[in-house]
């Protein structure tokens, strides 16, 4: 019976999609005498948490003595909203069933303890394996102290990502394009290198899904001068961070835009990962190019690989995927998930835990 109600809470959490941004997706169900009184979820970043969403749907009398099923441990600190734990106690909730303890250091078991200290019965770990899949990036960020890193590429049957000529090479089909837009929406930062910027002139935006918090665009460059004529520093559609190895006269000009930031440094994969930590970006999608992606592989900072494999071949001087950096010990992934997108094959592999 507990799992039935927790499954309702999981289904509620999924309704939020990407709207919760840096907050986790959370669902909740309020039950009394075996009957569901209310179901709710955290709708958007900065909005009411799931626990408050369900309490707003019932009277004080209904809430008193009820059991709350919630996918993630209720918060115990003041953030964008007051602590949910206090509101649950004030409402007279008798029991709270939690799917997963919150890995965030400001919560991390403190919400559970607060409830217990105030006479609320607490059960934890209900359907934990299912619940953890709701927020893989959030969980990884706070348990590993670094962003979840995904490498994404479109390549031919012979493993090439472009023709080798200094021009854009279209490889994947429209169905893959639509899927890659959906993929972008799931990340808080997107990274490319200088060659990808100059050859493809990408926007790195999510154009098929409305987002209140679009992914931050990161570009690794020798200097900001290269970026002056490209769309992503002029369109204002999302924050853009230029990670430059050398200062240039263009730095001040570009930073006059509210959406452009120029940082000077040695932008290794480890340094980029640390920047994500400092800015609170929990997930990083590395779209290109081959040298940037190879650097993340060499640094063993890869958690997921997604490739759109097209039924074509380039051969010759075509540029292979993930090339141009020193080799490393092989990274081991779980069995890949395969899906057909028209004539393209989408391959997704997640790194094995502990590897």
Tokens (6 digits) for 209: 């899904």
- Using an 8 Å Cβ cutoff, are 155 and 321 in contact? yes
- Is 184 annotated in a binding site? The answer is yes
- Is 84 annotated in a binding site? The answer is yes
Cα(49)–Cα(137) distance, integer angstroms: 19
Tokens (6 digits) for 345: 């094959």
- Is 75 annotated in a binding site? The answer is yes
- Is 294 annotated in a binding site? The answer is yes
User: Which CA distances in Å does 126 have to 5, 24, 80, 130, 158?
Assistant: 10, 17, 27, 9, 46
Cα(92)–Cα(242) distance, integer angstroms: 51
- Is 204 annotated in a binding site? The answer is yes
- Residue 355 annotated as catalytic: no
- Is 293 annotated in a binding site? The answer is yes
User: Which CA distances in Å does 16 have to 13, 41, 135?
Assistant: 6, 7, 11
- Is 295 annotated in a binding site? The answer is yes
- Is 154 annotated in a binding site? The answer is yes
Residue in 51, 73, 194, 304 annotated catalytic: 51
Q: Residue 87: is it exposed, middle or buried by C-beta count within 10 angstroms (0-12/13-18/19+)?
A: middle
- Is 196 annotated in a binding site? The answer is yes
N- to C-terminal Cα separation, the chain: 37
- Is 344 annotated in a binding site? The answer is no
Q: Detail the residues annotated as belonging to a binding site for substrate.
A: 184, 204, 207, 287
Q: Detail the residues annotated as belonging to a binding site.
A: 49, 75, 84, 154, 184, 196, 200, 204, 207, 287, 289-295
Q: Detail the residues annotated as belonging to a binding site for NADP(+).
A: 154, 196, 200, 289-295
Q: Detail the residues annotated as belonging to a binding site for Zn(2+).
A: 49, 75, 84
**Catalytic residue annotation:** 51
């Amino acid at each position: 019976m507990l799992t039935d109600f927790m499954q309702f809470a999981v289904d509620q959490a999924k309704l939020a999609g990407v709207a919760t941004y840096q907050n986790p997706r959370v669902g909740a169900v309020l039950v009394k005498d075996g009957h569901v009184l209310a179901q709710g979820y955290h709708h958007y970043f900065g909005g009411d948490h799931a626990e408050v969403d369900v309490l707003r749907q019932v009277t004080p009398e209904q809430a008193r003595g009820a059991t709350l099923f919630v996918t993630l441990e209720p918060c115990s600190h003041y953030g964008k909203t007051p602590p949910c734990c206090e509101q649950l106690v004030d409402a007279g909730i008798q029991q709270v069933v939690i799917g997963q303890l919150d890995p965030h250091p400001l919560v991390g078991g403190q919400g559970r303890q607060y409830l217990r200290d105030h006479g609320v019965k607490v059960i934890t770990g209900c359907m934990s394996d299912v619940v953890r899949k709701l927020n893989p990036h959030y969980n990884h960020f706070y348990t590993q102290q670094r962003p979840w890193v995904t490498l994404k590429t479109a390549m031919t049957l012979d493993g090439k990502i472009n023709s080798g000529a200094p021009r854009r090479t279209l490889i994947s089909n429209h169905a893959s394009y639509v899927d890659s837009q959906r993929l972008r929406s799931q990340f808080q930062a997107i990274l490319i290198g200088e060659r990808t910027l100059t050859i493809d002139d990408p926007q790195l935006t999510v154009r098929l899904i409305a987002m209140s918090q679009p992914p931050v665009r990161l570009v690794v460059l020798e200097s900001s001068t290269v970026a002056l004529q490209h769309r992503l520093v002029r369109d204002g559609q999302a924050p853009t961070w230029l990670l430059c190895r050398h200062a240039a006269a263009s730095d001040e000009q570009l930073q006059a835009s509210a959406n452009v930031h120029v940082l000077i440094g040695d932008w290794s994969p480890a340094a980029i990962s640390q920047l994500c930590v400092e800015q609170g970006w929990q997930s990083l999608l590395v779209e290109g190019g081959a040298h940037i992606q190879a650097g993340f592989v060499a640094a063993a900072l890869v958690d997921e690989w997604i490739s759109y494999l097209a039924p074509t071949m380039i051969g010759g001087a075509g540029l292979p995927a993930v090339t141009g950096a020193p080799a490393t010990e092989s990274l081991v992934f779980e069995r890949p998930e395969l899906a057909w997108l028209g004539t393209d094959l989408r391959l997704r592999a997640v790194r094995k835990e502990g590897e």
